[in-house]
Amino acid sequence: MMKGTFLPGADRKVPLLQPEPPARPGHRVFDHTPNPGREAQRPGAWLDAARIGGVLRSLLTPRWLLLHVLFVVAAIATGFLAVWQWDRAHEAGGSFQNLGYALQWPLFGAFVIFFWIRLMRMELQRAPAQSAASEQPPEEPQPEEVAESTSARKRPLVPPPAPPVSDDEDPELAAYNRYLAELNETDQGR
């Protein structure tokens, strides 16, 4: 017999649902209710039929065609290298090193394919964001803002020297600095 409460209109007792404890700071709470402003994250959601036309066209640019050829050639080459090392391992002069390579090459090929798919998915996710950004007219920055932003990004190549430390502030650090200064003087004298 199940423990629970009797619901009006129900033939049997149903389990009593306990309310979830409140979220503690630093812990994530996952809400399983659909978010109306966001697309459902289901497998293959990045490849909806409505987005295929324009988005997949970005994977057929000359740059991407060259990348596709490169990834296909790399995957096929790792397969051939695996077969070659496997045959080499079974010859009279073969060793366990050849056998190890024969087992490693397919892993390299799997990584090539994984990386290829990952790059394509990143491109497909980036393309809608770029098209949404291109629909809005870009604001032209004022010349003063451009000058401030470029000067704020530049950092000196050498950090400024640290301020000197007196014996009153930190006697150990001051003694260590004197020791380093003496070493520098003796090194410069050579």
- Is the pLDDT reported for residue 148 higher than 60? no
Number of H helices, E strands in the chain: 5, 2
Question: Does the pLDDT value for residue 50 go beyond 70?
Answer: no
Q: Which structure tokens are listed for 106? A: 């397919």
> Does the structure show a pLDDT above 70 at 78?
yes
In whole angstroms, what separates CA 175 from the centre of its chain?
46
Q: Taking Cα atoms as reference points, which of 123, 37, 108 lies closest to residue 76?
A: 108
Domain extents in the chain = 52-127
